Amino acid sequence: MKRVLSGIRATGRLHLGNYLGAVKGMLELQDPPAGGQEYETFYMVADVHTITTPYNIEELRKNRREVIIDYLAAGLDPKKSIIFQQSEVPEHLELAFYFSSVITIARMQHLPTFKEKVTQHPDNATMALLNYPVLMASDILIYKAGLVPVGIDQEPHLEVARVIANNMNSKFGTDFPEPIRFATKGEYVPSLTGEGKMSKTVEGSYINLTDDLETIKSKVAKLPTDSGKGVMPEGKPERGSAIGTVLSFVELFLGKSKAEQYKKMYTGEGIRYGDLKQELSNSIYEELKPLQEKRKELENNPEYVDKVIKEGAEKARMAAQETLKEVREKMGLS
Ligand code: AMP
């Protein structure tokens, strides 16, 4: 059966960007329509990736469990998916080291994500940060996963994974697939500030999956607006213009036809942003409410969460060890 891998770093509570860009794709592949292609799905919390930028030890310890709870609350199901913590499968780290022998430093230094992080944390341009995409390639390829539900920002990392897979196959005769991204409708969720994408590290940019209606309303109220009337900007309007950002949220939560309707109003009689924001906030909350209810149940059942984490690690390790054994043999290490 074809395999899928995805993961989210343990840097905080999940936000709408993680949910729409990654978790929704994970769910789609976990629960294919009847008669559709079925997949073996591996979903992890990428706690080891978290240490590639400055972090707080207690926060990490807490967040890695919180991400698992968010996954379960969103509908990931341990009966259908292998749900685990990356650090519990140390095989990923061994394979990443082998992979680092088939990719150059120059290639890694040129990645836009690396450059961005170095600008954000100039005193922490560590080897771990440089190796981030190599570890990500290992996360994917250790399960020979061909499909990776992640946001569009991860595309350069997937390209690295494909180069590594190719180099390993041609040098050592392995049979790694060239993994491709599984895109969702929300592959790029803009920031609430109107600049760049929604991100945990940018204050004021995100709505958490655990936010209540009042919090959502006050965050949505801050979405930048304009006069409500004018010509629609060309190109990718969600990246930069006020109306574009607002409409991309409308499309994601109220649907395409509603977005078209508002677009017409913008170029015609004008939009009343107050009403729009009210409608939008309600619909975001409606989507999150069932997750929040499920989360409460899970918070009251820590034994169940412990069991999911333990069993997930066991299953993932078995699959990972198989690949690692093969790689060690092919590379002359056993
Ligand atoms: P990270 O929090 O960087 O570990 O990202 C976890 C997952 O969420 C990755 O698949 C990202 O591509 C996805 N993601 C994060 N932010 C966004 C966003 N604003 N829009 C769409 N996907 C996102």
Per-position DSSP letters for 101-117, written without gaps between them: GGS-HHHHHT-HHHHHH
Measured from the CA of 187, which atom of ligand 1 is nearest?
A: 21
pLDDT band at 13 (very low <50, low <70, confident <90, very high): confident
Query: What are residue 203's phi and psi, to 5 degrees?
Result: -60, 140
Give the 3-state secondary structure of residue 9: strand
Residue range 309-319: average pLDDT? Answer: 98
Q: Is the domain of 138 the same as that of 223?
A: no
Q: In this structure, is residue 221 part of a structural domain?
A: yes
Please give the pLDDT value at position 226: 93
Q: Best substitution site from 14, 153, 239, 253 to test ligand 1's pocket, by max atoms within 8 Å of Cβ?
A: 153
* Tokens (6 digits) for 60: 């990490």
Q: Is the domain of 177 the same as that of 241?
A: no
Q: Is the domain of 80 the same as that of 55?
A: yes
Q: In this structure, is residue 247 part of a structural domain?
A: yes
Ligand 1 geometric centre to CA of 300 (Å): 28
Whether residue 119 has pLDDT greater than 80: yes
Q: Which residue has the higher pLDDT, 214 or 120?
A: 214
Q: Is the domain of 241 the same as that of 307?
A: no
Give the 3-state secondary structure of residue 208: strand
217: CATH: 1.10.240
Residue type, 113: T
Residue range 177-213, pLDDT digits in tens: 999 999 999 999 999 999 999 998 888 999 999 999 9
Please give the pLDDT value at position 238: 56
Ligand 1 geometric centre to CA of 175 (Å): 29
Q: In this structure, is residue 199 part of a structural domain?
A: no
- pLDDT, the chain, mean: 95
Query: What are residue 202's phi and psi, to 5 degrees?
Result: -110, 110
Please give the pLDDT value at position 297: 97
Query: What are residue 278's phi and psi, to 5 degrees?
Result: -65, -50
Please give the pLDDT value at position 331: 98
Ligand 1 geometric centre to CA of 8 (Å): 7
Ligand 1 geometric centre to CA of 46 (Å): 12
Please give the pLDDT value at position 12: 85
Q: In this structure, is residue 172 part of a structural domain?
A: yes
Q: Is the domain of 58 the same as that of 28?
A: yes
12: CATH: 3.40.50.620
Please count the structural domains in the chain.
2
Q: Is the domain of 138 the same as that of 240?
A: no
Residue range 306-314: average pLDDT? Answer: 98
Give the 3-state secondary structure of residue 153: helix
Ligand 1 geometric centre to CA of 116 (Å): 15
Residue range 57-69: average pLDDT? Answer: 96
Q: In this structure, is residue 47 part of a structural domain?
A: yes
Cα(244)–Cα(188) distance, integer angstroms? 13
Q: Is the domain of 12 the same as that of 72?
A: yes
Please give the share of the chain, as a percent, with pLDDT higher than 70: 99
Q: Is the domain of 10 the same as that of 54?
A: yes
Residue range 206-230: average pLDDT? Answer: 96
Please give the pLDDT value at position 30: 98
Residue range 8-27: average pLDDT? Answer: 95
| CA 87 to mean position of chain CA atoms | 18
Q: Is the domain of 125 the same as that of 231?
A: no
Whether residue 107 has pLDDT greater than 60: yes
Q: In this structure, is residue 204 part of a structural domain?
A: no
CB atoms within 10 A of CB 285: 20
Q: In this structure, is residue 26 part of a structural domain?
A: yes
Please give the pLDDT value at position 237: 58
pLDDT band at 232 (very low <50, low <70, confident <90, very high): confident
CB atoms within 10 A of CB 334: 10
Query: What are residue 35's phi and psi, to 5 degrees?
Result: 85, -10
Q: In this structure, is residue 157 part of a structural domain?
A: yes
Q: Which domain holds residue 37?
A: 2-187+302-330
Q: Is the domain of 276 the same as that of 308?
A: no
Residue range 299-328: average pLDDT? Answer: 98
Pocket of ligand 1 (CB under 6 A): 8-9, 17-18, 20-22, 150-151, 153-154, 186-189, 197-200
Please give the pLDDT value at position 279: 96
Q: Is the domain of 83 the same as that of 219?
A: no
The total number of residues shown for the chain amounts to 334
Nearest C-alpha to atom 16 of ligand 1 is from which residue?
A: 17
H helix or E strand, kind and range, residue 39: strand 39-46
pLDDT band at 1 (very low <50, low <70, confident <90, very high): confident
* Tokens (6 digits) for 233: 């900007």
Whether residue 236 has pLDDT greater than 70: no
Q: Is the domain of 243 the same as that of 280?
A: yes
Q: Report strand pairing: 39-46 vs 81-85.
A: parallel
Cα(273)–Cα(225) distance, integer angstroms? 7
